[in-house]
């Protein structure tokens, strides 16, 4: 695909072309190519287009009357937040939200493409949902999210899952009303996957999950092109929301009584790099958000490469900026990092950690790690283990490398057998467990602030919440504590959580 085509999303599949499934697949071959690093790197530096004119067309306002929707979400918090936007659009169309797919008139699977097993889960679910279509022929089944940006996935659904009614991409979410309308009218599968990626669409409706913590997008896309990763292809190029839009959204959330915001982006440290009219980066944004009266502010995910000194300086001011940074390292070996195209060395990463710890001595660092990268040697894996200990990470998400079609790493020969990869994952996980347990132990007997989110999943008699460092605490406290930040005395610590008692409860018990 050339740049012109990439820019002009409308040239992609046009939903009003009523073609058969077979025709669509031919159409894809000409305008929609699989992920290609060469093509994607040609991404234009053209201005990001901001749209503020989202409106539900009068024609569609009654569409959802008497109908209900259910969205199943896979993948990262960005996907979960997209689900909130789609739920907002459904509600604006008059649909009701339901809790199970069995009750729904429209089911959407908001998918993730990050690893093969994520995709397999979705295909399993699409197959499983077929029986609901048999029971209710009017049911609409849609597939959206990152998998629908992959040509191979779209072709597989067209060929093997004809009971799917709609497929739409991550750049097409705001087109949900039109896509639904088309699906109701058409007997064929509706496919709308734009490769258009230069847009930021504001004022989309949102129905947020809960009223305690809220996600706020600060940027979209990723231009880092780590050699293993599918995200730059499924989410498009990096584009930042304007600071005033973000600040206004955070202010509104504060006014509505939210206790925490999580600022979202695939690589939030690249925030503002795409502004051509001003020098304004994540540090500047955090410095402004710091002054908004919302108790807790977090961000995810950081890329070590763009983590600048100004950001560290601002984070060190504390206040509502939490003392926890999720900083994916992926590997402790400079050679592996090089093949991953992470563009930092082991030493540079350790230097960044040193700077962060100097400015924020009590910071909690967590990370993501991939083991079993193509041709990873035992020594290189050991370097990951030693780096983990040296940094003293308090938690990690760990993965076995999964080849993603179209990415440079998928073409590499790999001499590491799967059982070796599994063994490395186990060894790493044992270390992750050990350091997590250690980080928890330090709190025994201490009083920490916990944002109480609700009943514990395991035991409804106990409440659960998170500390500023994002550690899970099960708390004995009255239900009235839900939604509040309360001091909790830690009684017991485990590998992944702590048990505690609300300090007020103890005092009250003392009085009685
Ligand atoms: N933008 C974030 C990561 C998003 S994906 C960042 O760069 O930090 C979340 C994690 O999934 C990554 O950090 C990586 O550890 C893992 N991951 C991504 N692609 C993968 C692949 N092909 N195989 C295994 N793990 C992968
Ligand atoms: Fe993927 Fe994160 Fe790398 Fe972007 S920075 S390519 S999202 S791992
Ligand atoms: Fe998955 Fe897409 Fe997120 S691939 S991790 S849902 S950006």
Q: Note the pLDDT tens digit of each residue in 364-386.
A: 999 999 999 999 999 999 999 99
Say if residue 24's pLDDT is above 70. no
Ligand 2 in reach of 181 Cβ (< 6 A):
no
**What is the band of 14 on the pLDDT scale with cuts at 50, 70, 90?**
very low
CA of 80 to the centre of ligand 3 (A): 10
Model pLDDT, residue 203 = 86
| Residue 433, in any domain of the structure | yes
CA of 37 to the centre of ligand 3 (A): 18
pLDDT, tens digit, for every residue of 102-130? 999 999 999 999 999 999 999 999 999 99
> Is residue 266 lining ligand 2, measured as CB closer than 6 Å?
yes
Would 343 be classed as within a structural domain?
yes
Ligand nearest to the CA of 78: 3
Number of domains in the chain: 3
Claim to verify: residue 462 and residue 403 sit in the same structural domain = no
- pLDDT 10s digits, 394-433: 999 999 999 999 999 999 999 999 999 999 999 999 999 9
- Outline where 33-175 has alpha helix (H): 37-40, 77-92, 116-128, 130-135, 151-160
pLDDT at 173 > cutoff 70: yes
Instruction: Identify the top-confidence range among 23-27, 50-54, 273-277, 469-473.
Output: 469-473
Res 15: pLDDT: 31
Are both 433 and 452 inside the same structural domain?
no
Q: What would the pLDDT profile of 346-358 be if each residue is shown by its tens digit?
A: 999 999 999 999 9
What pLDDT, on the 0 to 100 scale, is given for residue 20?
36
Query: What pLDDT does residue 25 have?
Result: 41
Pair (52, 94) in one structural domain: yes
The preferred substitution site among 115, 226, 401, 406 for testing ligand 2, maximizing ligand atoms within 8 Å of CB, is: 226
**Which is the closest atom of ligand 1 to the Cα of 229?**
19
- Tell me: do 340 and 227 sit in the same domain: yes
The residue whose two tokens read 């889960």 is: 121
Does the annotation list 144 as a binding residue? no
- Identify which of 152, 214, 144 has the alpha carbon closest to the alpha carbon of residue 175: 144
Could you tell me what percent of the chain has a pLDDT over 90?
82
Q: Could you tell me which residue, 447 or 33, shows the higher pLDDT?
A: 447
- Whether the pTM exceeds 0.85: the reply is yes
Contact 191, 154 (CB under 8 A): yes
Do 18 and 53 belong to one domain?
A: yes
Residue 388 has pLDDT above 80, yes or no: yes
Proximal ligand: closest to the CA of 116: 1
Q: How far, in Å, is the centroid of ligand 1 from the Cα of 67? A: 37
Residue 509 lies in a domain: no
Same domain, 92 and 24: yes
Indicate if ligand 2 lies below 6 Å from the C-beta of 231: yes
Of 270, 305, 384, 399, the residue with max ligand 1 atoms within 8 A of its CB, to mutate for a pocket test, comes to 399
Asked if pLDDT for residue 38 goes beyond 80, the answer is: no
What pLDDT band is residue 52 in, cutting at 50, 70 and 90?
confident
Classify residue 512: in a domain, yes or no: no
Question: Looking at residue 44, what is its pLDDT?
Answer: 60
CA distance 467 to 190: 45
Examine residue 199 and state whether it is found in any structural domain, yes or no: no
**Cα separation of the two ends of the chain:** 74
What is the model's pLDDT at position 1? 32
At which of 396, 413, 438 does a domain end? 438
Does 94 map to a domain?
Answer: yes
Q: Which of 387, 416, 438 is the last residue of a domain?
A: 438
- Let me know whether 403 and 492 are in one domain: no
* Same domain (yes/no): 120, 250: no
Looking at the structure, do residues 298 and 397 belong to the same domain, yes or no? Answer: yes
pLDDT tens digit sequence for 291-347: 999 999 999 999 999 999 999 999 999 999 999 999 999 999 999 999 999 999 999
Q: Is 226 assigned to a binding site?
A: yes
Note the pLDDT of residue 195.
Answer: 78
pLDDT digits over 237-270, tens only?
999 999 999 999 999 999 999 999 999 999 999 9
Q: What is the pLDDT of residue 458?
A: 87
Q: Which CATH number is 36's domain given?
A: 3.40.50.12160
Which residues, 6 or more positions from 510, have their beta carbon under 8 angstroms from its beta carbon?
none
Average pLDDT, the chain: 90
258: containing domain: 213-438
Is the domain of 408 the same as that of 259? yes
CATH classification of the domain holding 403: 3.80.30.20
Rounded to the nearest angstrom, the distance between the alpha carbon of 226 and the centre of ligand 2 is 6
More confident residue, 95 or 16: 95
Residues contacting 136, CB < 8 A, separation 6+: 105
Q: Which of 36, 33, 30 is nearest to 17 (CA)?
A: 30
In a domain, 348, yes or no: yes
Q: Are residues 366 and 475 in the same domain?
A: no
420 and 312 share one domain? yes
Instruction: Pull the structure tokens for residue 127.
Output: 């197959």
Closest approach atom of ligand 1 to CA 114: 19
Residues with CB under 6 A from ligand 1: 114-115, 228-229, 231, 266-267, 301, 303, 328, 330, 368, 370, 399, 401-402, 404
**Helix boundaries (H) for 342-417:** 346-359, 378-391
Segment 188-217 mean pLDDT: 90
Q: Which ligand is nearest to the Cα of residue 409, counting in written order? A: 1
Q: Is the pLDDT of residue 32 over 90?
A: no
- pLDDT confidence band for 46 (50 / 70 / 90): low
> What's the 210 CA to ligand 1 centre distance in angstroms?
27
Nearest CA to ligand 3 atom 7: 231
- Nearest-CA residue for ligand 1 atom 18 is 229
Q: What is the CATH number of the domain that holds 495?
A: 2.40.50
């Amino acid at each position: 695909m050339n740049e012109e085509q990439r820019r002009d999303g409308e040239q992609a599949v046009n939903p009003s072309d009523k073609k058969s499934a077979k025709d669509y697949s031919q159409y894809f071959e000409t305008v929609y190519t699989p992920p290609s690093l060469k093509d994607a790197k040609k991404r234009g530096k053209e201005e990001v287009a901001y749209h503020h004119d989202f409106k539900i067309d009068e024609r569609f306002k009654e569409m959802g009357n008497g109908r209900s929707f259910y969205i199943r979400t896979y993948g990262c918090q960005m996907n979960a937040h997209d689900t909130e936007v789609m739920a907002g659009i459904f509600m604006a169309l008059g649909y009701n939200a339901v809790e199970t797919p069995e009750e729904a008139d429209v089911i959407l699977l908001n998918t993730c493409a990050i690893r093969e097993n994520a995709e397999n889960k979705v295909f399993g679910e699409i197959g499983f949902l077929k029986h609901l279509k048999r029971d209710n022929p009017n049911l609409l089944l849609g597939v959206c999210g990152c998998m629908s940006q992959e040509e191979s996935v779209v072709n597989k659904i067209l060929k093997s899952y004809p009971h799917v009614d709609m497929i739409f991409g991550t750049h097409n979410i705001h087109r949900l009303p039109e896509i639904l309308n088309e699906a109701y009218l058409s007997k064929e599968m509706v496919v709308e996957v734009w490769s258009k990626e230069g847009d930021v669409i504001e004022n989309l409706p949102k129905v947020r999950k809960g009223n305690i913590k809220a996600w706020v997008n600060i940027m979209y896309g990723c231009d880092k092109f780590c050699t293993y990763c599918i995200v730059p292809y499924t989410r498009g190029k990096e584009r930042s929301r304007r600071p005033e839009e973000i600040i206004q959204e955070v202010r509104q959330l504060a006014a509505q009584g939210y206790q925490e915001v999580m600022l979202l982006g695939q690589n939030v440290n690249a925030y503002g790099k795409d502004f051509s009219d001003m020098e304004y980066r994540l540090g500047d944004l955090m410095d402004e958000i710091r002054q908004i009266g919302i108790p807790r502010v977090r961000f995810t995910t950081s890329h070590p490469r763009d983590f600048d000194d100004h950001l560290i300086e601002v984070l060190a001011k504390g206040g509502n900026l939490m003392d926890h940074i999720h900083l994916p390292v992926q590997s402790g070996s400079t050679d592996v990092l090089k093949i991953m195209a992470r563009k930092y060395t082991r030493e540079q990463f350790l230097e960044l950690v040193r700077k962060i710890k100097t400015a924020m001595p009590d910071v909690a660092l967590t990370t993501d790690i991939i083991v079993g990268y193509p041709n990873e040697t035992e020594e290189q894996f050991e370097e990951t283990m030693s780096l983990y200990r040296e940094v003293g990470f308090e938690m990690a998400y760990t993965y076995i490398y999964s080849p993603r079609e179209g990415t440079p790493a998928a073409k590499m020969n790999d001499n590491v057998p799967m059982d070796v990869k599994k063994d490395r994952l186990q060894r790493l996980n044992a270390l992750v467990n050990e350091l997590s347990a250690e980080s928890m132990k330090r709190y025994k007997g201490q009083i920490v602030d916990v944002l109480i989110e609700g009943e514990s999943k395991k035991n409804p008699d106990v409440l659960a919440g998170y500390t500023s460092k994002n550690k899970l605490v099960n708390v004995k406290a009255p239900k009235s504590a839900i939604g509040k930040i309360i001091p909790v005395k830690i009684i017991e610590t485990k590998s992944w959580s702590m048990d505690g008692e609300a300090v007020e409860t103890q005092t009250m018990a003392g009085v009685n």
